[in-house]
A and B are shown apart, each in its own frame.
Chain A
Amino acid sequence: MDRIISKLLFFAACSSIAILALIALFIFKEGVPIMVKSGLGNFLFSQDWSPLEGRFGILTFMVGSLWITAGSLVLGVPLGVACAVFLAVFVHRRAAMILKPAIELLAGIPSVVYGFLGVMWLAPIIRERFGGPGLSILAASCVLAIMILPTIVSVSIDAIQAVPRSYREGSLALGATEWQTAWRVTLPAARSGILAGVILGMGRAVGETMAVIMISGNATQIPHSIFDSVRTLTANIAIEMGYAVGEHREALFATGVVLFFFIMILNVVALRVSRRKF
């Protein structure tokens, strides 16, 4: 009897791997043929996305995703790590117990609400101050930065707290201030954990769809400044899926394949990085 239960539980645990495999299977099944037909190099590096004429090059969208992700990291990582250092090092445990969940609450707000606020509040400001359509790389980066903040903060706090107390106490005993300790000793020691958090945040930014659709402008063009509109890989899939048929639809799945691969690589890298001891 106990053995039956053991087996059942094992099968339940395998469900995760099974689902992952199914996802990979179906996405690949739908998407790979068109990638092969267009030629992989062409698919990935051509700027020509003309579904009606059967030409599928996703470079424009990759560039769009790249810009927005980079922007969100530039804004979000310093802010996130700073928050993490503040909460983990300088704040009393009582206060941290309230503040940390508060920041994690940011993660609970639906992405569509963020996008909405970006449209209603942020984009007009950008349009007035800097010109351009307002719905831009800058707007998207700002919003995404806030969205990935909780991930970076959480993982960084864990990484900082995982540094042995003896390092910190040794440094303080030598006469260093808290800040010097944090900057010279704790942060470098927590480096790999923080990096893992950044990579995870990057994954979230790359994978974000709804908010990006709302505030990045969705113009299929290579941007020349951060005030230009772009369209990301995710946005393209979501927007065109509604009416795509045949090869067009397959090409969207193929875009999904590229996304999937990229996120998997990021995950593996994050895992490897977080395992490395300082």
Chain B
Amino acid sequence: MRIAPSITQKIAKFMLFAACASAIAALLFVIGFVLVGGLQNVTWAFLTEPILDMGRGGGILPAIVGTILMVFVAIGIAAPLGVASAIYLAEYTLEGKATQTIRFGINCLAGVPSIIFGLFGFILFVVIMGFGWSILSGGLSLAAMILPTVIRTAEEALRSVPQNYRDVAASLGATRWQVVTRAVLPYALPGILTGVILGIGRSIEETAVVIFTAGSAVQMPTSLFDSARTMAVHFYILAREGVSNENAYATASILILTILIINITAYTMMHRLMRGRRAA
């Protein structure tokens, strides 16, 4: 007995819908579970007090500051380097052997697991270069890790600029660099910013790299050479050591909220960019 194709289609469609729904459900569950468990403990005091008693009490201000400083270092290096690389790949290259190697390098770098970046950062920055466990070591390692993300997004943004604009600028007498800065970059900026924002998001959620390179000191960091913990690290330690479930949930809530805000910002920026283009 053959089943009619239209019935097969209905069954298939339902199963596929179920798959999608469960994925979305998982997402909502994760976010909901954490926020419900944790938001109640996120008070202003929590956000602004120092870490007490290895996390059992007090707040998470040092972790917040540590996160911000480390992200600053990471983006401060990865953004210029990444955008410059993207400009080279999108505007200057002749797609020869050198470029193929570079692209291969970027793709491979994107696949390297975070723990390897942790080991790398440990050996190079903490030990050999003598920075010790520090925000600097952590930031540098994170920069290496997010570089491929920034490059890829930026290159795509640059490539989406219509070729016409470059032609017009060139025919009016612009040098190659002027074509890039005057005609291409302004148009590609939202896309590039999206990549930077995504890089920031990745830095915030990363744990393995940070533990290996920045340690996990609870004090408020006073310089880039201080060891510090990020929110993700703090959360991990709280969770793993079973120290304080409430604080763990609360920290996780802040983490998730931050990342939600970052991702939504990035996506709405991209959407507005797309819509703006189509109107033009």
Contact = CB atoms under 8 A, between A and B. Distances in A.
Q: A and B from one assembly?
A: yes
Contacts of B205: 108-111
B154 to A, nearest CB: 11
Given A85-B16, A112-B239, A114-B30, A15 B85 contact: yes
A27 B81 contact: no
B176 interface: yes
A238 B207 CA distance: 11
B147 A15 contact: yes
Q: Identify the interface centre among B80, B112, B255: most chain A CB within 10 Å of its CB.
A: B112
Interface string A245-269: 0000000110010011001101100
A220 B191 CA distance: 46
A116 B239 contact: yes
Interface in B86-135: 87-89, 92-93, 98-99, 101-102, 104-109, 111-120, 122-124, 128
B20 A86 contact: yes
Contact of B20 (A83, A106, A200, A263): A83
Interface stretch (B1-9, B40-48, B159-167, B217-225): B1-9
A163 interface: no
A172 to B, nearest CB: 12
B263 A110 contact: no
Given A9-B88, A86-B17, A210-B236, A22 B120 contact: yes
Interface string A4-33: 011011101111110110110011001000
A85 B19 CA distance: 10
A108 to B, nearest CB: 5
Interface stretch (A34-42, A46-54, A125-133, A174-182): A174-182
B116 A256 contact: yes
Nearest to A116: B239
B113 to A, nearest CB: 2
Interface string B217-245: 00000000000000010011001100000
A213 B236 CA distance: 10
B239 A264 contact: no
A115 B205 CA distance: 13
A207 B144 CA distance: 16
Dominant SS among interface residues on chain A = helix
Interface stretch (B21-29, B54-62, B68-76): B21-29
A123 B205 CA distance: 23
A106 to B, nearest CB: 5
Contacts of A234: 113, 115
Given A105-B260, A113-B252, A214-B240, A256 B102 contact: no
Contact of A179 (B12, B19, B93, B99): B12
B19 A267 contact: no
B120 A26 contact: yes
Nearest to B83: A12
A112 B20 CA distance: 24
A17 B205 CA distance: 25
Contact of B207 (A2, A111, A207, A271): A111
A149 B211 CA distance: 26
B113 A263 contact: yes
Q: Give the size range of B's interface with the partner.
A: 35 or more
Contacts, number: 235
Contact of A14 (B102, B176, B252): B102
Given A16-B105, A19-B144, A177-B8, A108 B201 contact: yes
A2 B84 contact: no
Interface string B125-161: 0001000000000000000100110010000000000
B33 A13 contact: no
A73 to B, nearest CB: 15
A200 B111 contact: yes
B13 interface: yes
Given A109-B256, A179-B9, 11 more contacts: A9-B88, A12-B85, A16-B102, A17-B102, A103-B23, A110-B205, A113-B30, A146-B23, A176-B5, A252-B119, A260-B112
Interface of B: 5-6, 8-9, 12-13, 15-17, 19-20, 22-24, 26-27, 30-31, 33-34, 80-81, 84-85, 87-89, 92-93, 98-99, 101-102, 104-109, 111-120, 122-124, 128, 144, 147-148, 151, 175-177, 201, 204-208, 211-212, 232, 235-236, 239-240, 248, 252, 255-256, 259-260, 262-263, 267, 271
14 contacts: A14-B102, A16-B106, A16-B147, A17-B106, A86-B19, A99-B24, A108-B260, A110-B255, A149-B23, A207-B111, A260-B112, A263-B111, A264-B111, A267-B107
